Amino acid sequence: MRILLIGYGKMGRTIERLALAKGHQIVAALSVEDASTLASYTKDQVDVAIEFTSPDAAVSNIMTCLEKGIPVVCGTTGWLQHLPQVTATCQQHNGALFYASNFSVGVNLFFHFNEYVAQKMQQYPEYGVQVKEIHHVHKLDQPSGTALTIAEGILKNYPDKQGWVNDKTTSPDILGIESEREGEVVGTHVVQYTSPNDTFELHHIAHSREGFAAGALLAAEWLPGKQGIFGMTDLLQL
């Protein structure tokens, strides 16, 4: 498979190493300085693009790939306010986009169990619920995209909550998401249910970026030949 890497940071380099080990070809690995060359690649040269850049660059990169007919796997978070525009472009060009806030198989099972637990815990109002995420100091968006996906799964099952705030809160109408940036932490996410009598937690700790990179590569192997917008629930059949 011929892969175009858009973004050549730690994640891009890890994906490159795993892809080459599986016998795939890296057509190019575009850093920030190379972004202007993206439009020169075509679907005849590239089977799939994998995009890990920054929130301010992701939308343009995705749109260029879709317009060129190149399926794109995107792991950049913090741009979903532009999803309607991206969706329209994907439909217009019969394109394929695979987006995930987190490509780890373990995290996506976490998402699945998070919704199940929220559905059950909502029946016990004595338990307050909070989300906490910890990442490395280089992470640009806050809360993390993973934390927002977790929050969506909780809010879906708590109709009385009006939304979330990026802080601790004691308000029963708001879900608090506490964000910390610490050293080189890969990613830790906690959902905590607390009552006057006890505390119940769902906890996920990422030990390395390998799990994210392996999941993104799985998505890239799965996406070519499809049309539409997909995510890990499609890949994992959750």
Per the annotation, binding residues for (S)-2,3,4,5-tetrahydrodipicolinate are 136, 145-146
Cβ 27 vs Cβ 3: under 8 Å: yes
Residue positions in the annotated binding site?
A: 33, 75-77, 100-103, 136, 145-146
Tokens 């996406």: give the residue.
223
Catalytic residue among 132, 135, 161, 204: 135
Residues 160, 238: Cα–Cα separation, whole Å: 27
135 has catalytic annotation = yes
If you count DSSP H runs as helices and E runs as strands, how many of each does the chain have, helices first? 7, 11
Active site residue 112: no
Distances (CA, A) of 86 to 30, 34, 123: 21, 22, 37
Which residues fall in the annotated binding site for NAD(+)? 33, 75-77, 100-103
Identity of residue 209: R
Residue tagged 């019969």 (tokens): 94
- Among all residues, which ones are annotated catalytic? 135, 139
